[in-house]
Structures are given as C-alpha cells and as structure tokens.
Amino acid sequence: MTREEAEDSRDDMLIDGCEPQQRLDNAVPDGFDPNYLKVYYGKLFPHADIFKWMSYGNDGKHPGCDQSYFGRREFSFTLDNDIYLRFQSFNSASELENSIKEKCPFKIDIGPVYTVDPAKRHAYAQAGENVFTPVERELVFDIDITDYDDIRYCCSGADVCLDCWPLMTIAIKVIDTALRDDFGFNHILWVYSGRRGVHCWVCDGKARRLNNEQRAAIADYFRLYKGNENSNKKVSLVGPALHPFLVRSYIDVLKDFFEEKLLRSQNLFSNEERYEKILEMIPDESITSELRGKWQENRRSSISKEDINVVRWEQVKHLLQSGKQKAQGLRRCVEEIVFSFTYPRLDMEVSRHMNHLLKAPFCVHPKTGRVCVPIDPNHCEEFDPTSVPTLSKLLGELNMMGGLRAEGDNEWDRSSIGKSVSYFRSSFLQPLLKSCKEEIESSYGAKVQQSKNSMSW
C-alpha cells in the first residue's frame, strides 16, 4: 500500500481543525501515521525524562531510595488497532523505552503507583486479598473545552480556536495560583491535551500521597457550578461576601478577562438569543424587562460606534449595581454572570480518585497529530494550540536535518519540540528532582535516627 492509500483508508485519523501545513521540500504529508509515530518514538520522545520524572529520585544511589518505586507504576497503552493494554509496568528506563518503541502506542496513559507491581497483581491476589491498591498518584486535573459549549459561540464539540482557547488560559491561571498560594504546592506541570483542553499534574510528595477524600475536597474547593443539566442556575453565589479564593480569582483574572476579551470575542450580547441567556440569570423582572425594552428598541435605532456588547454589559451593571438594588440580593448578580462565563470547569471525576488514568505528556494526539506539550503557566497566554508542533512537521524537520545528524546527538535540540523538552527539564523536572532528593535524604536521616534511638533503649 502506498502512503497515499494508507492515508485515505484512515481518513478518520486526519487532522481536523488544524491549519494547513506549509509544504517544505522535505515535507511529510499531513496527518497521523503509525509510521511517523515510530520515528517519533525512536528519535524525539523524551523517554529518559519521563523515566526520571516518574522515579521521583528513587533511581538514585542513596540508600533511602525505594528501588521498587518505578516498577509499581501503572502505564497503559492504546495500540493501533484499538487494543488497550492496562497494567503495564517497567523496571528500568530501558525497559520503558524499548516497550514504547516496540509497541508504538497511539496513546500512553499514566496511572497510580500501587502497593505491588501491577503486572503481577494476580499473583499477589492469589496469595492474599487486598494487597493490590494504589498508594501514590499525582493530583491531576482535566479541563476540557467541550464543557464550555453552552457559553462559546465560535466553536462547539472538539473544535477550538483562538477565540475560545483563552478560556483555558484563564482556567490555568486560576487553578495554578490556588494550587501554589492556597495549597502550597510547588511542582506543577500543565500540559496541552493535544486537542481541546489541558491537563494538570501536581507532583509534590504531599500531593502524591493524598487520599481520595482529600483529593475530592480539593476538587470541591474549586467547584462552583452547583447546577446540573436539569436545574436553571449554574452558579449561585450566596452570603454577604465571597471566599478569598473566589475574590482573588475574580479580581485578578476573571473580571478583566470577561470585560476586555470574552464580551467581544464571543459577542455575548449581539443578538436576542444570546442576551436572553444572560437576562435569565437576573432574578428581577423589572430589571430584565427594562433592559429587554432598551435592546429591542436599540436594534432599530441608530447604531452607536461603541461595541454593542460592551454597551449592553455596562447597562446591565449599571442597573444591577445602582444603589437601590444593593439591598435586594442582586448585587451578587454581576459576579454570578462573570463567573458563569469564565470560571474554570473541571472534570471532577478525574481529580477525585487515585486510580484515574491520564495521558502522558509528549504523546501525539491521534486525531490532530499535535504533540501534548507542556504549557508554562507563567506565559500561558502566549500558548497557541494551533501552532503546536505536529507529528508531520517534526518529521519534516528530521528529514531536513537528514544526513547532518551525528550519532548520539539529541534530535530535539534542533527540532521544534526542543523548546518544550527544555522547558520540561529546566522548569519542572530539575526543581522537582532536587526536592525529591532532599525529601529522600531527610526521611532516611529520620529513620536512621529512629533506629539509633531504639537501639539505645
């Protein structure tokens, strides 16, 4: 089968929603192809870094290292023909690398660290019951743009564009700040999911050891949408003040984003259907009918130069915040509207349980061909999902480098994935491993001290 045929027969795998690639001389046809993937895993995928990360310092020489640690981690592979292999485990960096290269998984998921090697769980199960349970797992979050479909008008479903992507950007800002300032976590990795959202990995030792109840508590701390599909109100803010976390999110991020970006980019007030959605959130009929009256008339009368969305939003705010409304429980309404349209929507289930699997960074999304690259939360507004390196672009670059390559040379230094790998190393992995080392040393020290004490009894 020629390459063209191969592509035709798997047109479901073609890039969707991705801008056309420039055709270079050495260009590789767009899209996703298992053969490209093989090359990617062979030359570009940072196997060693993933191993170092998942070892959390336990691959070192220090006597406090737990040599079994990495081998108790579950990986799962989704292969070409949709074969799904769960409970894979590896005892060394080379085992991991060889297996990935050999199986060439379309997707690699990372699960928890268990009490025992997950690949041998049945053997243990026969020996006695219940020895096989998860003991450690990063605290993870999954935010998916499809959960915003009721408030974005530019795209729906799996599509994203530069008008709706900023919703993800502010979600990163809100959650990242809270994870650091409120919960005191330091080692946080944000990753583009390859298509329509972002994943977050919180890797501090403290985070990895949280139990399910504590995970659920953090997820709930972030939860604002009390409404479900069958009730009217999605966000309801009660009480005379907001929690400091919400205040900070509102003032530092959400309000400005709503007023300066979203209003216009999504044209929130541009037609009746859209503004009715906002009027629905205002529980006072005299106000909604006054506004509705103005806007229906306004359509017929002259068009002012100012943006219609901005003008109408100012009107809403003016009416809701005027002195006489303050007492009537409507003061929260402006905030409620802003929160409804901008506040991060997390997939709670993913964060709640230790044993939820999450796609590994640097995988390639089989539909878009995009690499799941890390996102720097300090510069997340610069991240553009449509210009993420794709498999075909990377392969094109490799072909260009072609003969110039010296053996042992790191390919990614010169390819467009290089920036992502070096960000991963310098901003995430190095500080993480440093603190892991300290933790291992100090807990080993404490243990030695303890055994000394007990000997002197």
Partner 1 sequence: MEIFPSQGKAFAADDVVPALPLYGSAPPLEVRLEDFELFAIDRLRVLKGISDGLSRGKKPDEMEDLVVNLWKANMRHPQASEVLNKDIISHFVLRLVYCRTEELRKWFLSMETTLFRYRFRRETSEVQRALMAEFDIPYKAVSIAEYESVKEKLSQVARSMGQSLSSADAIFYKVPFEEVPELVASRRVFIQKGYAYVAMNQIVSLVVTQFRSNISRALVLTNRKWTSTIGEQEKDRLMPIVEALSVSYLGPDYSQPTEFEEISLKDIDQVAKSSFPLCMRHLFDKLREDHHLKHGGRMQLGLFLKGVGLNLDDALSFWKAEFSRKVGAERFDKEYAYGIRHNYGKEGKRTDYTPYSCQKIISSTPGVGDHHGCPYRHFSEENLRAALGKMGVGNRALEDVIDKVRNRHYQLACTLTFEAVHGSSCDAGINHPNQYFSDSQKILNSKVKQLS
Question: Residue 234: how many CB atoms within 10 A of its CB?
Answer: 20
Q: Which of 242, 310, 400, 401 binds partner 1 (CB under 8 A)?
A: 242
Angle between helices 34-43 and 391-401 (to 10 degrees): 60
Min dist. Cβ of residue 382 to partner 1 (A):
28
Q: Which stretch binds partner 1 (CB under 8 A): 28-36, 227-235, 316-324, 362-370?
A: 227-235
Min dist. Cβ of residue 386 to Zn ion (A):
11
CA-to-CA distance for 378 and 15, rounded, in angstroms?
A: 29
- Token readout for 188 is 């946080």
396, 36 contact by CB (below 8 A): no
**Of residues 394, 392, 388, the one with CA closest to residue 375:** 388
Identify whether 74 is a catalytic site residue: yes
Instruction: Assess 225 for contact with partner 1 (CB under 8 A).
Output: yes
Q: Which of 154, 310, 348, 400 binds Zn ion (CB under 5 A)?
A: 154
CA-to-CA distance for 5 and 273, rounded, in angstroms?
A: 46
Among 33, 138, 144, 335, the active-site one is 144
Tell me the per-residue interface mask from 107 to 146 with Zn ion, x by CB under 5 A, - otherwise: ----------------------------------------
* Closer Cβ to Zn ion, 55 or 309, answer by number: 309
Q: Which of 210, 308, 375, 380 binds partner 1 (CB under 8 A)?
A: 210
Q: Which stretch binds partner 1 (CB under 8 A): 14-22, 175-183, 308-316, 441-449?
A: 175-183
The number of residues that bind partner 1 (CB under 8 A) is: 45
> Half-sphere exposure (CA, 13 Å, Cβ side) for 191?
26
210 interface partner picked from partner 1, Zn ion, none, CB below 5 to 8 A per type? partner 1
153 interface partner picked from Zn ion, partner 1, none, CB below 5 to 8 A per type? none
Instruction: Assess 158 for contact with Zn ion (CB under 5 A).
Output: no
Q: Is 274 exposed, middle or buried (0-12, 13-18, 19+ CB in 10 A)?
A: middle
Residue in the structure block whose two tokens are 């939003």: 313
Tell me the per-residue interface mask from 247 to 286 with partner 1, x by CB under 8 A, - otherwise: x---------------------------------------
Instruction: Assess 161 for contact with Zn ion (CB under 5 A).
Output: yes
Instruction: Assess 326 for contact with partner 1 (CB under 8 A).
Output: no
CA 179 vs. chain centroid, Å, equals: 14
Please list, in sequence order, all residues whose beta carbon lies within 8 angstroms of the beta carbon of residue 41, skipping any fewer than 6 positions away. 100, 101, 104
Tell me the per-residue interface mask from 70 to 109 with partner 1, x by CB under 8 A, - otherwise: --------x---x-x-x-----------------------
Identify whether 82 is a catalytic site residue: no
Instruction: Assess 228 for contact with partner 1 (CB under 8 A).
Output: yes
Amino acid of residue 227:
G
299 interface partner picked from partner 1, Zn ion, none, CB below 5 to 8 A per type? none
* Closer Cβ to Zn ion, 161 or 237, answer by number: 161
Q: Which of 140, 164, 171, 360 binds Zn ion (CB under 5 A)?
A: 164
Instruction: Assess 128 for contact with partner 1 (CB under 8 A).
Output: no
Q: Which of 154, 158, 348, 401 binds partner 1 (CB under 8 A)?
A: 348
Neighbouring-strand partners of residue 113: 73, 136
Instruction: Assess 163 for contact with Zn ion (CB under 5 A).
Output: yes
Q: Which of 67, 68, 156, 214 binds partner 1 (CB under 8 A)?
A: 214
**How far lies 83's CA from each of 46, 76, 77, 103, 268, in Å?**
24, 11, 8, 11, 44
168 interface partner picked from partner 1, Zn ion, none, CB below 5 to 8 A per type? none
User: Segment 378-437, which members bind partner 1 (CB under 8 A)?
Assistant: none
Residue environment code for 131-150, b if the CB has 16+ CB neighbours within 10 A, otherwise e: ebebebbbbbbbbbbbbbee
Identify whether 441 is a catalytic site residue: no
User: Which residues of the shown chain bind Zn ion in the complex (CB under 5 A)?
Assistant: 154-155, 161, 163-164
User: Mind telling me the catalytic residues?
Assistant: 74, 142, 144
Which residues form the interface with partner 1 (CB under 8 A)?
78, 82, 84, 86, 132-133, 147, 150, 181-185, 206, 210, 213-214, 216-218, 220-221, 223, 225-232, 234, 239-247, 345, 348-349, 355
